[in-house]
Structure 1
Amino acid sequence: MTTDTRRALVVRGGWDGHQPVTITDSFVPFLEERGFAVETSEDLAVYEDAERLAATDLIVQCWTMGTITREQSANLAAAVRAGTGLAGWHGGIVDCFHDHGYHLLTGGKFVMHPPGFLDHTYQLSPDHADHPIIAGLDDFAVHSEQYWVLTDPHNEVLAITTFPPGELHDRPAVMPAVWTRTWGAGRVFVSTIGHKPDDFDVPQVRTLTERGLLWASR
């Protein structure tokens, strides 16, 4: 390992339905090929080690429906504010913790999804067509969960998905699906796509997620 090697920390766990180990393992070779030394933790107590977080260039979080302590949340936010990158997808980053500070950090919170898996499309933002995460990609379709989220107006939205009229709303609802944001000196990447491993078999999903990890890293 050289001094130029970047450090990535994969924090994974929570609800097994999102297959946190299987899906994060699928991204580890990609990160290693890009020069990252990758460590994994299956315990949120890792967020209590402020020194370790500060020395990490990228945190990839995949943890659904957990409980984060005030200290853990504050340490994570402080590390990102100082320059550590944070990235994740689906419930692993937006359906994690009932913690307002965490929601401010990530810029979004999961509310609901229609029952089961359904075919739906994602449209990339023409205003950000040259953004390195989505440059050269086309709109795409996925057969999976479609997330309804509450989001921060300061997010830079790179992709949207549209919900048709339904029993909860009488007109189409355009929903942010992929976004970036900054938090102090740190970068945050969030994608709401990725309930199951084969969601990442869609080339655009795999590519924008990989690019998002690199973009967020210090």
Structure 2
Amino acid sequence: MTSPSVDSPQPTRKALVVRGGWQGHQPVTITDLFLPFLRSRGFVVETADTLEVYEDAALLAATDLVVQCWTMGEITPQQSESLSAAVRAGTGLAGWHGGIVDSFRGDLGYQLLTGGQFLMHPPEFRDYEVRLAPEYTDHPVTAGLGDFRVRTEQYWLATDPLNDTLATTVFAAGDERERPVDMPVVWTRTWGAGRVFVSAIGHKPDDFNVAEIRMITERGLLWASR
């Protein structure tokens, strides 16, 4: 597979990787998978293990991309509003799985920023197909890719209709639901001058051994960046 021009080296930019919260999602181990990639694409990378970093408006304004992997936890109103304001002003925000859509469940402003909220997943890992949206075949995040399969958690989400949904999965009809449901898996959105990228896949490190997931995530980071 070859990546489109979004993967080409860029002038030096700044990425801030904010990681913590519930340790079951291995925030350090998994974000570490992407630090060499970001550096190879011209980013100076800083990591933070506290949400207090979101209180530093000057730092956020100087940051081109925030990569967040922080499952559950609590964010203060000041931190949430500061992050939202930075993205609205042009800072990019990107993340995957519970590190971005199972964060700060009590903060509605944060959920409006990301465009989605985790609600549940069926027990255990599942084999399922991820289908790329035909109307976005030329999107820089998914261009040139095809449908693929994964074995991991399958997220049921509440999502914003303003999202550009790039990929979906099907929850089959059964005891829990009377008909099949198409569920978003990957989306992008804008928030003022900023861009937001979200992928629901990334519970465990080997999820990113799937070539399509690794490529979609890397492209999503670049797409979201200022």
Q: When the two structures are superposed, what TM-score results if normalisation uses the length of structure 1? A: 0.98
Q: Following the alignment from structure 2 to structure 1, what is the Cα–Cα distance between the partners of residues 64 and 175? A: 44
Choose from 23, 30, 38 the match for 1:16.
Answer: 23
| RMSD of aligned alpha carbons | 0.6
Match for residue 4 of structure 2?
none
* Aligned twin of 1:35: 42
1:58 corresponds in structure 2 to 65
User: In 2, distance between residues paired with 1:131 and 1:216?
Assistant: 12
Give 1:82 shift. 0.2
Aligned to 1:104: 112
What's the offset of the Cα at 1:126?
A: 0.6
User: How many angstroms does 1:170 deviate by?
Assistant: 1.3
* Structure 2 counterpart of 1:72, from 71, 75, 79: 79
CA distance in 1 between partners of 2:132 and 2:15 (Å): 27
Match in the other structure for 1:200? 208
Q: Which residue of 2 aligns with 1:186?
A: 194
SS at match of 1:162: strand
Shift of 1:166: 2.5
**Counterpart-to-counterpart distance in 2, 1:46 and 1:66:** 15
Could you tell me how far apart the structure 1 residues matched to 2:123 and 2:189 are? 29
CA distance in 2, matches of 1:66, 1:25: 21
1:5 to 1, 12, 18: 12
The CA deviation at 1:136 is: 0.4
What's the counterpart of residue 92 of structure 1?
99
User: Hey, what's the Cα distance between the residues in 2 that align with 1:196 and 1:142?
Assistant: 12
TM-score between the two structures when normalised by the length of structure 2: 0.94
Stretches (4+) displaced over 4 A: none
**Percent of pairs with identical residues:** 69
Shift of 1:165: 1.3
Q: CA deviation at 1:195?
A: 0.4
Instruction: Give the 3-state SS of the residue equivalent to 1:114 in structure 2.
Output: coil
Letter of the structure 1 residue corresponding to residue 115 of structure 2? G
Task: Tell me the distance in 2 between the aligned counterparts of 1:154 and 1:171.
Answer: 24
Unaligned runs of 5+ in 1: none
Match of 1:151 in 2: 159
* Equivalent AA in structure 2 for residue 55 of structure 1: A
Task: Tell me the residue number matched to 2:90.
Answer: 83
Cα distance in 2 between the residues matched to 1:167 and 1:56: 47
How much does 1:138 deviate? 1.1
Ranges in structure 2 where 5+ consecutive residues have no aligned partner: 1-10
Q: Per the alignment, in what secondary structure is the counterpart of residue 134 of structure 1?
A: coil
Q: Give, in whole Å, the separation in 1 of the partners of 2:183 and 2:73.
A: 24
Shift of residue 167 of structure 1? 2.2
The one-letter amino acid paired with 1:25 is D
